[in-house]
Structure 1
């Protein structure tokens, strides 16, 4: 009989130990499931951000077929004793396709107009919003002076 009680006691102790393992395993599974759910939510949020970012970048294709890209212009200047390097891309929108062809044939002259204005844009470092608006109006005025009735708009594609 004592042998039976000893075996019964050992069996109870083993099952109790396995129950603790089972309880700890289910708690670990819950933690893993929770971590997996958090990871899925983060991935979903990142995909949403990526989609919004990619949508913001695609504005370049909306401008139209009568757009003549110029640049990128690389400007290296010493501002406050430090060398600064900037890049800017400009796009000119022509009134129609014939005017775009005329502007495209005169691209070296357009570079001669736009590049000095780019240098002036970055003379004081990174330009502000008002500096960019002034730059666009100067480009539009000077190009319209040289090429009458051919320019519809000036766009800054990127400033780095």
Structure 2
């Protein structure tokens, strides 16, 4: 029996050897799969960030470099006994860079013109497209009254 013991031990080691190797390989495969999934998730998130960044760049190029952003304005109003909160960002496009600089220097005055009109925009709740067009026309009229020949257009960057 003492002679057979090493043979049984050797047979046992040979039987377990490939199984242990397969077990280690399966753990390695799981780790590789997890790392691969994390890498794909990072790539996906980066593509989303790149897309949002490119959309912002395209917006700026479409309107032009002479854009003066105003806001975001946060409007909190009680409408029919319920508190509603809205956010709006407005952009004014100047005729040229010198006019944009003039508008930037008078930004406080522009806030005084635009903010009351933003309040009026949300008086009845969520504005309709005709309300937004009337708002833009009124902002353009009021800013043109105060600053002659400086504004080319009024844009709404975001309306939440």
Separation of aligned partners in 2, 1:104 and 1:9: 89
Q: Secondary structure at the match of 2:125?
A: coil
TM-score by length of 2: 0.76
Alpha-carbon separation, structure 2, partners of 1:115 and 1:60: 23
Per the alignment, residue 118 of structure 2 pairs with: 118
| Mapped partners of 2:39, 2:26: distance in 1 | 20
2:132 — aligned with what? 132
- Matched residues, number: 159
> Where do 5+ consecutive residues of structure 2 fail to align?
none
Where do 5+ consecutive residues of structure 1 fail to align? Answer: none
Per-residue deviation at 1:24?
1.1
1: CA distance, partners of 2:30 / 2:42: 18
* Map 1:1-150 → 2, pairs under 5 A: 2-58=1-57, 61-62=60-61, 63-100=63-100, 103-104=103-104, 107=107, 109-150=109-150
Judge conservation of contact 1:94–1:151 (CA < 8 Å) in 2.
yes
Note if contact 1:60-1:157 (Cα within 8 Å) is conserved in structure 2: no
State the TM-score, normalized to the length of structure 1: 0.76
Cα drift, residue 118 of structure 1: 0.5
The secondary structure found in structure 2 opposite 1:83 is: strand
Compared CA separation, residues 46 and 97, structure 1 to 2 (3 A): closer
Q: Could you say if the C-alpha distance between residues 80 and 3 of structure 1 is closer, same or farther in structure 2, counting changes exceeding 3 Å? A: same
Instruction: Report deviation, 1:59.
Output: 5.3
